Structure formats: C-alpha cells, structure tokens
Amino acid sequence: MKTKKPSRIKYWIIILVGYVAIFLIGFFIPIAYDRVTHKDNQTDMAADAASDSSKHKQKSKPKLATSKKAAVSAKSTKSHATAALSKIEVAAGETGYAIATKYGLSVDELQSLNPDVDVNNLREGETLTIK
C-alpha cells in the first residue's frame, strides 16, 4: 500500500504555525522575564535606599511619616492650608519609586510636585520637592 503524501498547503500551514509559535515564544518570554526581575529590582532598590538613608542621614532631609496610618493621621491633623513642602537631594542608586514610597507618596504625586524632573530617570544630586 502506498503512503499518502500530505498536500503542499498542509505542509506550509504547519511551517507557518511553527514560525508563529516560535515568534510568540521569543517575543513574550523576555517581556515576562523583565516584569518579574523588574519587580524584584524595585523592591531591592527600595530596601537598599531605605537602609542607605538611615545610615547616611543628612540635615536637609526632613523626618516624615513613612507608614500610611501615620501619613493619614498627619494629614488629618494639619489645617486646610497647603501642606509644607520640603526639598531632598537624590542619593546614588535611588529611584523615583523608592523615594515616593519612602515619603508616603505615589510616583504620580512625586512627578506632579516636580514637573521639571523626570522621576523615572533620576540622577545623583538632583533636588526634589516632597510633601
């Protein structure tokens, strides 16, 4: 009995599906890997920044509430006047996310307080305004 040859269309469809699968795997694995490692780096950087700032306290850095409960209670005790703004200097290796969480702000709030600075690309020595 003769074996039946697959048609050329079936052959090329199988080849096309294989290439699409390889493309999708090659495209999405680096994205997923970056997301996983980026989250780890952000938490590591935030922890490093917190430990570095406790080791190297500067007189220009004000002591602010770091927990959410303390921040809420501090906000509720203030009058309806605008909150006092302070200036801080960016240390080496600090990120916008780390600074924002350290002072009880979101990254968007930090960016709105500093419209002339790109908080995603901070450099050592830059001055930021915080609440």
What confidence tens digit (pLDDT) does each residue in 23-51 have? 999 888 888 888 777 765 556 666 666 66
pTM: 0.38
* Both tokens assigned to 100: 């924002």
- Per-residue confidence (pLDDT) for residue 48, from 0 to 100: 66
Shortest CA distance to 129 belongs to which of 69, 59, 44, 62?
A: 62
What confidence tens digit (pLDDT) does each residue in 56-101 have? 545 444 444 444 444 444 444 443 345 678 898 998 888 888 898 8
Assign residue 57 a region (left: φ > 0; alpha: ψ between -120 and 50; beta: otherwise): beta
Query: Which of 11-20, 72-81, 120-129 has the lowest average pLDDT?
Result: 72-81
Cβ 102 vs Cβ 52: under 8 Å = no
| Dist CA 122 CA 92 (whole Å) | 9
Task: Please state the domain extents for the chain.
Answer: 8-130
CATH of the domain spanning 8-130:
3.10.350.10
